[in-house]
Amino acid sequence: MKYDTEAMNTAACLWEQCIEPTHALFRGVQALRDIHGTVDVRAGIVGLSEACDIVYETARGLGYDDSFDWEFCPLFLRHCTTADDPEATDIALKFNLADEAAVKANAQLILDHAWKPSDSSPSL
């Protein structure tokens, strides 16, 4: 599969979250890296770029206005994928991307966990 520049930028943002030391790696990502190696896990993250962009655009339509790379991407990985599941056998979506209601529900889930000015820190 060929990816365009936007998809690769999204994949890079997602991957940054997986290797960012302040996040201490998502538990599922670390477990999968231990089992399969970095290359396979990175390929799984690249495969999530389309879904991430679709959920992001849906969340924006619902009022999400925080940054994409440092705010949205970790929320997407935590709430919409298996990145935080140490029992997962691969990095995958927790919902069917073809199901519009599920996409909207997951966008709303991210909105519900997004940082608000009254918060002292974001709720991952």
In a domain, 96, yes or no: yes
Q: What pLDDT is stored for residue 119 in this prediction?
A: 54
Q: How many domains, in total, are found in the chain?
A: 1
d(CA 1, CA 90): 19
In a domain, 124, yes or no: no
In a domain, 118, yes or no: no
In a domain, 98, yes or no: yes
In a domain, 123, yes or no: no
Question: Do the Cβ atoms of 41 and 32 come closer than 8 Å?
Answer: yes
In a domain, 36, yes or no: yes
Q: Provide the domain limits for residue 74.
A: 5-113
What are 25-66's pLDDT values in tens digits? 567 787 888 888 888 888 888 899 999 999 999 999 999 999
In a domain, 120, yes or no: no
In a domain, 45, yes or no: yes
pTM as predicted? 0.84
* Confidence check: pLDDT of 117 > 80: no
**Percent residues over pLDDT 90 in the chain:** 47
Quick one: which of 40, 23, 55, 50 has its CA closest to 90?
A: 40
